[in-house]
Structure 1
Amino acid sequence: MSTSSRMLRLLSLLQTHRHWPGTELAERLEVSERTLRRDVERLRDLGYQVDAVRGVAGGYQLRAGGSLPPLLLEDEEAVAIAVGLRTAAAGAMGGVEEWSVQALTKVTALMPPRLRRRMDALTSQTEAPGPWRGGPVTDPAVLTALAQASRDHEPAEFDYTAADGGSTHRRVEPHRLVSLGRRWYLVAYDRERQDWRSFRVDRITAPVVGGQQFRPRELNAADAVSFVQAGIRRMPQRYAVRVRVHAPPELVAAHVGDHWADVVAVDGGCLLQMNADSLEWPVMLLATLDAEFVVESPPELDEALAAVGARLSRRSG
């Protein structure tokens, strides 16, 4: 690898990690630590602010400056960023729609012609609704602060508003952010309650991040997504839906997914169970399910299905 290629690779690595141990960075570049130090000095001569920490745990970190340094991106990374910015322009992130459009314009303009043609094709052949106007809106500053705390193993404090409107102050060890549908959740260890919790990010205000780094704990679930999903299922809801479906459980599970419902095998088919505040989602699932079923509870679901069926019959007639 030539010196110029190696420096580009070094800069690319420094831009993807907050702190790189010197030994690990040298191994990635397949050079000695002495050569690594010379390459870091060359980057500094070019204006990149690279901090060095000496000692056993020493390493290098690219300092955030007053402006964003040039980014080195692979072709697919550039396309992924552009697609992500386009998605953000119509997403549930408050206040970023205009900035996403501006950033997308700049990123596309800097692309080489071959990538710009790919993005122009994607843009011209894709239709999307306007910016999200329903449901909770997440503050991007809160989201990025919590993401940084999760990555760097730094504690966080914030005010949290529960579903009933009550407000509490929380001191947590952030673990992961989870995006489900149009909502974001923070999975964290609550220091005062000494247990794992998930928090709706749109209900978090005034986060303060910093302090002595903590040692990451082992989450008591397969992963952060399953932890949040299990918590949602346990939440008290208005309706406890139970439907006996005369179809193989794997067919029903593939139809409804495992995010919001449980499918249990029983004689002659399976049992579909879910909790819901509204019957709109269960009605839609059952209306699009190609199988016979019997509603066991609640009776309101039977009534809602009958009303939808009658309305569709009148429409078809």
Structure 2
Amino acid sequence: MSDAARLLRLLSLLQTPREWPGSELAERLSVTTRTVRRDIDRLRDLGYPVEATMGVSGGYRLVAGKAMPPLLLDDEEAVAIAVGLRTAARQPVAGIAEASLRALAKLQQVLPPRLARRVSSLTSATAPSASSFASLVDPAQLTVIAGAVHARERVRFAYVSNDGVVSKRHVEPVQLVALGRRWYLLAFDAERDDWRIFRLDRVSEAVATGARFAARVAPGGDATQYVTQKMYESAPTYRARATLRLPVELARARLADFAGDLSALDDCSCTWHSVEDTIDYLAFRLTLLGCDFTVHEPPELVNHLRGLGERISRSVGSP
């Protein structure tokens, strides 16, 4: 076993949360305890916080340090983390969206094909919850585009517009933006000579072309602010105020990250002041609650629900 291979094997053993006597490590690695001590020092020089304890039950163990050192993962661990990151990528979480995407891109880059196939199979076999349908994104498309953004590489993909028309796009991807429940791509469309915003759940067949482009600055200098402004301009957002015939804790559990401000009225009902979103989505979340409710405002939501109720009544016919 080479020195490098032995060092990696030692690190893999130490990542198991237990005390490792020097004699046991030496036996596992087929070396002397002196070599183990020397290898422990090399790991410390590389930034791994290995702690040594004295006594009969003492030994070596890896502890938390000041910085995050590289980790070694076995096959099962790598698959579990990749599946988790791919699932998270479908529903970007505020504050960690970009970090989770960077981690996913790094991991998928080095996954052996046999493990990548397992990850794809597990992901495709996982059914999303009803509340997450709006943000479903193919993680493979997401990571291709994320890599192209980082490398400043042009991308070609198929895109479905709001009215269902499919077109081929050739763009310079500038920034991925997690907004609300969706991923968006801010890009400069090479063929239309203008900035465009693309919803990632409508992207397919994404391919990095290998052609590099000069760095571009987003309009106004801030990609997130630009995308947010454009989304609000294209789809007005509102805050709902409603009475829910549901215990406040149950309402909080069902609304989850969309809970907004909930206050108990009694044991069986509560008031809800929602977070800001479109009329369509506010109506969707209300009907998902599985309880009676009364909407007080905005009037646009009241009218939307009234029209929705009439369409449902017509669809099922007269009693």
Fold shared per TM-score above 0.5: no
Question: In which range does the TM-score fall when normalised by the shorter chain?
Answer: 0.3 to 0.5
Greater helix share, structure number: 2
> What is the TM-score normalised by the length of structure 2?
0.42
